[in-house]
Structure 1
Amino acid sequence: MSRKRVTQVFRKVWRWEASGRFSVRSCYRRLAGDIQVEGWVGWTEMWNCRLPPKIKSFFWQLCSDCLPTTKNLRSRMVNCQEVCGLCGKDDESVLHLFVRCPVAIEGWKAIGWDVNGAAGGNFLHCLELIFQAKKKPELEKVVWGCWGLWEERNRRVWQNKTLNASQVMFSASCFVDGWLFAQQKDQAKVTALGAQVWRLPKPGWCKMNVDAVRDHTGSWFGWAVRNSSGDFVGGGIKSGRGSCF
């Protein structure tokens, strides 16, 4: 039997890049413990949602665990208190901030979603279950609802201002509705439907806009009040089940 000489080739490979080459970005993500979400099942549904780019960008940061929550900041050696910016009690992880926080729970209830059964141990897994179970309009609610909670968190931390849970969701909903209205290209169609561009009230006056929606899960009535500068003064939501927020 003849022998053949086998040459063993040794090659160094960086396993956290598809090319096998080392990169500072992938090294930083590995050391920081960032979640890799390239293969997440919800990306297609999320990117197809009719939402402002800034909200989609925020949601990508959220799912990538790149948001500057106090827990993430401390993992990057930033000296800060690891406390939730919404409730001021528990540690501020993404799972707590958007699912387990009392403010978040009340906010989701205000738009007809009970998150008690969704509070698992992994935020990304929780989102996967939601995206598999819900239809597109409900998925859009989840995305802009998370954005609204993050905006409120920053408002409380940096501006020392507070909205109640239902106002948080209503304000986020109004922002999305305003963006969708601005995207209307067929102005003739909008005019034919009788839609009008919102105008500022007279100086010293306030204007209240109202809207209502109903589906198989219930009905909701909402209102928003703005002053003559266009600033949000107040608002609220009332559900058809009798709960008033």
Structure 2
Amino acid sequence: MELIDPFTWTWDINVLQRYFTPADIDLILTIPLSRSATSDQQIWHFNKRGFFTTNSAYYVAKDLALGLVLAPKPPVDPLRVVWNKVWSAKVPRKVALHAWRIMGNILPTRIGLSTKGYNGELGCVFCNHPHEDSLHLFVNCPYAKEVWNRAGIPMLGAASTTIQEWFTGVVNRFTKEELCKILMLIWGIWKSRNSQVWEQQGRHASETCFLTLGWYEEFKKHTASSLVRQARSIRWKAPNPGKVKINVDGAYQVASRRGGVGCVIRASDGSFVAGQARPYTLLTSPFHAELLALRDGLFLAQTL
């Protein structure tokens, strides 16, 4: 209670600055305060109900003995930005999965297979380069370069030493739409490679480019029409007679940590009862914004 201004019922910045670091203050300010002046109470973090029990204490002691409770957090994945952009790309799931396999060095190229016991031909099926790995197949091979040229995409790669390094550069340089095309063309190159290996059916680079981007356009049309059908199928469902329904939503912007929430209350016949919207700062996640939206919706109902 000493950290809260009793008149404005907000966090007391002056007191916080006296006892906490700026980083801790930033986190404290994201904690919403209750509207009721309830007293502080102790909560046992290791029990779902917040109560201390000898049973939960036993497991905490055991984890301490094993070094689990105080163990350092796992390191942040340096490729997190790459993963996020690949998985959020609006391409077929198998295309995104294909990119994930490339980044994880588990794509069965001939060099990749050689680490698993394969002792056959190691050369590239397109240009007879002595080693077919992902970096050569998708970046340095003349066939791949021709695909990128036909697609009008100036590719990176001259200085890349690993496929991960190349992929990171691609993600940081190109727009979302361009990244989608690149992911599709990588998939198209792999499909053409497999046709050559397993079916002895070669495709010219221009054909691979044309067929792959054509498939991408068809995928976008199908996705857009599916979204329209889905939007048309979503309808507001009225509550029981004599009841009201509160609908809420929250938005969050990662870069600024700002966001906003809105809520609307409607009667069983669909008529508008009340609504409100407000901005928020110092949010931590989309989930945080959604929770504040729920809380504000309940507060509005309580006020009415």
TM-score category of the 2 structures, normalised to the smaller one: 0.5 to 0.7
Q: What's the counterpart of residue 116 of structure 2?
A: 76
Deviation per CA, 1:12-48, whole angstroms, max 9, x where unpaired? Answer: 99xxxx999xxxxxxxxxxxxxxxx954121111111
| Count of aligned pairs between the two proteins | 160
Pair 1:97-2:140 in alignment: no
Percent pairwise identity: 27
Q: What's the counterpart of residue 82 of structure 2?
A: 42
Q: What's the counterpart of residue 189 of structure 2?
A: 149
Give, in whole Å, the separation in 1 of the partners of 2:157 and 2:87: 26
Q: What's the counterpart of residue 202 of structure 2?
A: 162
Question: Greater shift after overlay, 136-145 or 98-107?
Answer: 136-145
Of 212, 222, 229, the residue aligned with 1:182 is 222
Q: Which has the larger radius of gyration?
A: 2
5 Å matches for 1:99-114? 99-114=139-154
Pair 1:66-2:76 in alignment: no
Matched to 2:184, the amino acid is W
Report the Cα offset of residue 127 of structure 1. 1.2
Change in CA separation of 1:143 and 1:131 when aligned onto 2, cut-off 3 Å: same
The DSSP-based 3-state class of the residue aligned with 1:42 is helix
- Calculate the aligned-residue CA RMSD, in Å: 2.9
Contact 1:83 1:91 in 2 (8 A): yes
Change in CA separation of 1:163 and 1:133 when aligned onto 2, cut-off 3 Å: same
Give, in whole Å, the separation in 1 of the partners of 2:138 and 2:175: 20
TM-score, reference length from structure 2: 0.48
Q: Which has the higher contact order (CA 8 A, sep 6+)?
A: 1
Contact 2:156 2:166 in 1 (8 A): no
Change in CA separation of 1:128 and 1:182 when aligned onto 2, cut-off 3 Å: same
Report the Cα offset of residue 122 of structure 1. 1.4
Deviation per CA, 1:148-172, whole angstroms, max 9, x where unpaired? Answer: 1000100100111111111101111
Give, in whole Å, the separation in 2 of the partners of 1:95 and 1:67: 11
Pair 1:139-2:179 in alignment: yes
Give the unaligned 5+ runs of structure 2.
1-64, 232-304
Pair 1:122-2:162 in alignment: yes
